[in-house]
Amino acid sequence: MSERLRIAITKGRLLDKSVELFEAAGLDCSPIKDPGRRLVHCVPNYPLDAVLAKAPDVITYVEHGVCDLGIVGKDTILEKGGGFYEVLDLGFGKCRFALAVKEGSDFYGTYKTRRIASKYPEVTRAFFEKKGMDVDIIKIEGSVELAPILNLADAIVDIVETGATLKANGLVPIEDVAQVSARLIVNTASMKLYKDEIADLIARCEGELERRK
C-alpha cells in the first residue's frame, strides 16, 4: 500500500469504542491511547494516521478532504449535514433523539404554538416540518432539561441514553425522533483516489462488526 490514510475520530465516548473496534480489526492503536503532546497519531502496523476532534469538526475535516475518513455520531450528521459518503454504521455509541415533555402535560392537545428547546435546532426543525407543525425553536448550548423547568420551553428534543436525567428533572420522552449511533464517513474524492486502501479498512471494520453480531 502506497498512501497513508488520515482519519478524524470524535473525542470522548466514541473514541474508546473506535479504538476497541480498530484493535479488534488488527490495528495497533497504542499511540492513540497514549497521545502525549502529539496531535497526529500514527498507527505503527497499518498506513493510517489519526487525529482527534470535536464531532462537528470531524465532518468539516472530512468534507474538505484534509482527512480521508471520520468517525462521528449520526446525531451530528443529522444536525450538520454535508457532502461525504456515510459507509458504515459502527453499531456503538447507540442512543436516540427523543421529544420529551413535562410529566403530565399534553403536548399535542392544543393549537397554541409550541416552543421547543434543543441543542439540535436542525434536527428539531426537520422533525416538526415533517409533521407540518409550526414550532418555535430555541437553541440551548448546555443542559437542555433546564428549559422546560424554567418555563422557557414546552418540550425538548435531545439525545436520550437511559432516560435517567430526564426522569430526575420531571420530563418524559413521548416520541422518538431518530436513532443514533457512530458512523464511518469517507471523503468523496478520497474514496475514488485511494479506493483499495479505503476498501481494506472498511472490510476490516465490517469483518469485526460481523463477528460481533
Partner 1 sequence: MSIIINTPEGTRDRLFAECQERRQVQARLTRLFRQRGFLEVSTPDTEFYDLFALSGSAIPQERMLKVGDLSGKICVMRPDSTTPIARVAATKLKAVALPQRLYYDQTVYRANPAHNGGSREIPQCGVELIGAKGKKADLEIIVTAIDALRSCGAPKFHVELGHAGYFRELAGRLELGEEKVEEMRALIEGKNFAALTDFLAPYAGNPASAALARLSRLFGGAEVLGQAERLAGKTPAVDYLSDLYDELSAAGYGQYIRFDLGMVHQIDYYTGVVFRGYVEGAGDAVLSGGRYDNLVGVFGREAQATGFAVYVDAVARTLPEISPPVLRTVVHYEPGYLAQALEAVDTRPAGTSELSPCRTLESSLNLARDKGAETVLVFDKDGERTVPV
> Does the footprint of partner 1 cover residue 126 (CB under 8 A)?
no
* Among the listed residues 60, 105, 165, 169, the single contact to partner 1 using CB under 8 A: 60
* Among the listed residues 89, 102, 169, 172, the single contact to partner 1 using CB under 8 A: 89
* Among the listed residues 38, 131, 167, 192, the single contact to partner 1 using CB under 8 A: 192
Nearer Cβ to partner 1, position 30 or 188?
A: 188
Which residues are within 8 A (CB) of 123 and not within 5 positions of it... i.e. 6 or more apart? 75, 78, 79, 97, 157, 177, 178
Q: How far is the CB of 124 from partner 1 (least distance, A)?
A: 17
Which residues are within 8 A (CB) of 119 and not within 5 positions of it... i.e. 6 or more apart? 139, 140, 141, 144, 158
Residue 107 φ/ψ region, left for φ over 0, alpha for ψ in the -120 to 50 degree band, beta for the rest: alpha
Q: How far is the CB of 187 from partner 1 (least distance, A)?
A: 6
Sign of CA pseudo-dihedral 154, 143, 82, 27: negative
Q: How far is the CB of 39 from partner 1 (least distance, A)?
A: 20
Beginning with the edge strand found earlier in the chain, give each strand of the sheet holding 5-10 in spatial order: 40-43, 48-53, 5-10, 69-73, 182-186, 85-89
Q: How far is the CB of 87 from partner 1 (least distance, A)?
A: 5
Half-sphere exposure for 70 (CA within 13 Å, toward CB) = 33
Q: How far is the CB of 177 from partner 1 (least distance, A)?
A: 18
Q: Based on DSSP, count helices (H) and strands (E) in the chain, helices before strands.
A: 9, 11
Q: How far is the CB of 145 from partner 1 (least distance, A)?
A: 29
* Among the listed residues 133, 189, 207, 212, the single contact to partner 1 using CB under 8 A: 189
Among the listed ranges 7-15, 109-117, 152-160, 192-200, the one in contact with partner 1 (CB under 8 A) is 192-200
Distance between CA atoms of residues 136 and 120, nearest Å = 13
Which residues are within 8 A (CB) of 203 and not within 5 positions of it... i.e. 6 or more apart? none
Among the listed ranges 16-24, 29-37, 94-102, 187-195, the one in contact with partner 1 (CB under 8 A) is 187-195
Positions in the binding site for partner 1 (CB under 8 A): 60, 63-66, 83, 85-89, 186-193, 195, 202, 206
